[in-house]
Amino acid sequence: MEVPENLKNPQNARREGSNMKCLADYSVEKEVGEGSFSTVYLARRKEPKNDENPEVALKICLKRLILKNKMVPYIHREKEALALISREENAHPGIVTLYATFQDSESLYFVLEYAKYGDLCTLMQKQPDSKFNVADSRYYAANLLSALEHIHKLGIIHRDVKADNLLVKSDGRIMLTDFGSSKFLSDYQKIQENPVEEEQPTGRRSSFVGTAFFVTPELLTGSEMSPSSDLWAFSVTLYLFLTGIYPFNDMSEYLVFRRIQDILYTFSEDFPDENAKNLIERLLVKEQKSRLTSQEIKEHKFFESIDFEHLEQLEPPRIY
């Protein structure tokens, strides 16, 4: 799609402070994706001239839409979580880096690490039988686990872990993105002591269908979520990688939720790996405390061949 004129030649770029970035600092090249409230472009940093890695993803959120759809808390959360994770001392190769944020009268701008190959779910659907082989599933799951362990140590729960939120970089490595639903653990505990209704954004309901498959039993019963909620979604994601289908699936969202509440799922006769099956069985457990911890997952037989200390040394699958 054509890049709008106001992005090519920004007229009203406004610097809020001397170090603040603005639209004029980037040349916008092409649209690469659209969310419910945002459009994402491939852009290039203009300075410094000798930048070896000038490509960035420029996510533009229209203020009008954000306000109308009550998305303000989501945008704040995304910015806060990404800003914390993107600090030099907290950086993790498996999590998208936020380079800068700025705004003008109409839009909020997130300058993010660029993922050349888009999201892993779309790539998975292009594979033979729309799934990954065991080795590739193991690779992606190990990298997802490492990213989750990292954010949990920083006190963040992602709460929207799914293959769509894993982006593939030009070197084939993945990074976790979309922190709009995330929660800082301490905040969460405060909310539990003093519960307030979280306002439901209006437009997101329509995109909820995609996420329904990953919903946790605790979300359905209104119980407190914890890092193990992300590990539930991790195991749903691993099941999806290995089979191309969701463990909890049915004709309607309501029936999917019933299945999740009753932990009603099966493994087909030809499920490709016994160790993965055992791992998933020990994570798709209603009681959060009874699920494996991330340390226990790393020590599980399914990941026997993986050295989690040196994940970056593994060659990423070439699936694109």
Binding region = 59
Smallest distance from ligand ATP to CB 96, Å: 6
Is residue 172 within the footprint of ligand ATP (CB under 6 A)?
no
Q: Cα(104)–Cα(118) distance, rounded to whole angstroms? A: 27
Contacts of 254 (CB under 8 A, 6+ apart): none
Q: Cα(86)–Cα(111) distance, rounded to whole angstroms? A: 12
Put residue 65 in one of left, alpha, beta given phi > 0 → left and psi -120 to 50 → alpha. alpha
E strand spans, 90-164: 98-103, 107-113, 156-157
Is residue 179 within the footprint of ligand ATP (CB under 6 A)?
no
Q: Cα(131)–Cα(262) distance, rounded to whole angstroms? A: 26
Smallest distance from ligand ATP to CB 241, Å: 18
Cβ proximity to ligand ATP: between 7 and 57 the closer is: 57
For the stretch 245-271, what's the b/e string if a residue is b when 16 or more beta carbons lie within 10 angstroms of its beta carbon? ebbbebeeeeebbebbeeeebebeeee
Cβ proximity to ligand ATP: between 57 and 148 the closer is: 57
* Stretch touching ligand ATP by CB under 6 A, among 12-20, 32-40, 186-194, 225-233: 32-40
Selected from 6, 24, 27, 36, the binder of ligand ATP by CB under 6 A is: 36
Q: What character string, x for contact with ligand ATP (CB under 6 A) and - otherwise, covers 52-81?
A: -----x-x----------------------
> Is residue 308 within 8 Å of residue 298, measured between CB atoms?
yes
Smallest distance from ligand ATP to CB 120, Å: 10
Amino acid, res. 240: L
Total residues binding ligand ATP (CB under 6 A)? 21
Is residue 38 within the footprint of ligand ATP (CB under 6 A)?
yes
Is residue 155 within the footprint of ligand ATP (CB under 6 A)?
no
Q: Are strands 38-45 and 107-113 parallel, antiparallel or unpaired?
A: unpaired
Give the count of beta carbons closer than 10 Å to the beta carbon of residue 18: 5
* Stretch touching ligand ATP by CB under 6 A, among 7-15, 100-108, 111-119, 249-257: 111-119
Amino acid, res. 153: K
Smallest distance from ligand ATP to CB 240, Å: 17
* Stretch touching ligand ATP by CB under 6 A, among 35-43, 130-138, 220-228, 232-240: 35-43
Selected from 43, 100, 115, 145, the binder of ligand ATP by CB under 6 A is: 115
Cβ proximity to ligand ATP: between 158 and 291 the closer is: 158
Is residue 119 within the footprint of ligand ATP (CB under 6 A)?
yes
Binding-site members for ATP are: 59
Smallest distance from ligand ATP to CB 35, Å: 2
Residue with the two structure tokens 């054509």: 2
Instruction: Pick out residues in 234-273 that bind ligand ATP (CB under 6 A).
Output: none
Residues belonging to the chain: 320
Is residue 107 within the footprint of ligand ATP (CB under 6 A)?
no
Smallest distance from ligand ATP to CB 71, Å: 9
By annotation, the residues acting in catalysis are 160
Residue 59 main-chain phi, psi, to 5 deg: -100, 120
Is residue 114 within the footprint of ligand ATP (CB under 6 A)?
yes
Contacts of 115 (CB under 8 A, 6+ apart): 57, 96, 167, 168, 169, 175, 177
Which of 32, 49, 37 has its CA nearest to residue 112? Answer: 32
Is residue 32 within the footprint of ligand ATP (CB under 6 A)?
yes
- Per CB under 6 A, residues contacting ligand ATP are 32-38, 40, 57, 59, 96, 112-115, 118-119, 167, 177-178, 207
